[in-house]
Amino acid sequence: MAATIIDGKAFAATVREKVAAHVTRIKEENGITPGLAVVLVGEDPASQVYVRSKGKQTVEVGMNSYEYKMDVDTSEEDLLAVIDKLNNDPAVHGILVQLPLPGHLNEDLIINSISPAKDVDGFHISNVGLLGTGQKSMVPCTPLGCLMMLRDHHGSLSGMDAVVVGRSNIVGKPMAQLLLGDSCTVTIAHSRTKDLPDVVRRADIVVAAVGRPEMVPGGWIKEGATVIDVGINRIDAPEKGEGKTRLVGDVHYESAAAVAGAITPVPGGVGPMTIACLLANTVTACCRANGLAEPEGLTA
């Protein structure tokens, strides 16, 4: 049977609607407007697109957007000063530093200078530790989006075998924690995993987050499994004309869709959920900062 396509673009729209409804309520009942500050250092074209999209969507759900565009050779000291200002600004409930940062900046140092309560990316070591110990935290946006789609598709994930391919701090590790929190049996696999195809073939849920175009073929997927493809890789597409490119995931879509029970496409799968979850995290951070009830269904 053909796999169900999990439409992340449509799902992200429903998340944004929920966020917008909650923002309206907070404004009317409490006179508070959630605010998100996004800091971009340098002129990486993809990062510029993502930051523009974050600002636009923030305003569309009724929140305040603050953008800080800094020179590519900004010093660590100057960037830390901006973050310190935002940490102490009561109108700012969420702070995000767009990654990757230019090479001369220490990413860990910068991320850990953000107030954990405002760390809407969930990358601060305090949030990583809270998530790992099952406590209330800010949850990284991409894994949170994956979890929301999985819960929506399956209802309960309890007892399912999940394999996360990829061990990054941003996706693989927090994804594994979230699946464990939902009582999956979780394996984190990576490029050095022995018998990777067999490990993946055991899984009811496969989350591919390795950053290698089409690395996971359909032959590795168990019949009926749910495949969440986090990869966004731009590859040459000579079939579309000279110099043309196209986006592919970490999964070989056609062959995987032929055996999977459900699959996320690229584009239009996990990607749009990342920004929707950023908005969700910002409204959550605003509620926590002001002792208000948190929106339901928008946290882990």
Binding residues for NADP(+): 166-168, 232
Return d(Cα 300, Cα 139) in angstroms, integer: 7
Q: Does residue 244 have an active-site annotation?
A: no
Q: Is 275 in the site for ligand LMY7XDAE (CB under 6 A)?
A: yes
Q: Which does residue 142 bind out of ligand LMY7XDAE, Mg ion, none, counting CB within 5 to 8 angstroms by kind?
A: ligand LMY7XDAE
Site for ligand LMY7XDAE in 235-254 (CB under 6 A): 247
- Cα Rg for the chain, rounded, in angstroms? 19
For 94, list phi and psi in degrees, rounded to 5. Answer: -135, 140
CA distance 265 to 28: 38
Q: Which of residues 124-153 bind Mg ion (CB under 5 A)?
A: none
In the shown chain, the binding pattern of residues 74 to 103 toward Mg ion, with x for contact by CB under 5 A and - for none, equals -----------------------------x
Describe the strand order of the beta sheet including 94-97 as a list of residue ranges: 64-70, 35-41, 94-97
Residue nearest to ligand LMY7XDAE (CB): 271
Among 266, 285, 286, 300, binds ligand LMY7XDAE (CB under 6 A): 266
Q: 98, 118, 177, 182: which is the annotated catalytic residue?
A: 98
CA dihedral 209, 210, 216, 222 (to 10 degrees): -40
199 binds, among Mg ion, ligand LMY7XDAE, none (CB under 5 to 8 A by kind): none
Window 150 to 189, contacts with ligand LMY7XDAE (CB under 6 A): none
Q: For this structure, is 56 an active site residue?
A: no
Q: Cβ closer to ligand LMY7XDAE: 120 or 287?
A: 120
Q: Is 94 one of the binding residues for ligand LMY7XDAE (CB under 6 A)?
A: no
Three-state SS for 165?
strand
**194-to-7, 160, 198, 217 alpha-carbon distances in Å:** 32, 22, 9, 17
Amino acid at 238: P
Size of the site for ligand LMY7XDAE (CB under 6 A): 17
- The rounded distance, in Å, linking the Cα atoms of 258 and 59 is 40
* 121 noted as active-site residue: yes
Angstrom distances, CA of residue 127 to CA of 37, 136, 139, 284: 18, 8, 7, 14
Position 194: which residue type? Answer: K
Q: List residues binding ligand LMY7XDAE (CB under 6 A).
A: 50, 96-99, 121, 141-142, 232, 247, 266-268, 271-272, 274-275
Q: Indicate which residues carry an active-site annotation.
A: 54, 98, 121
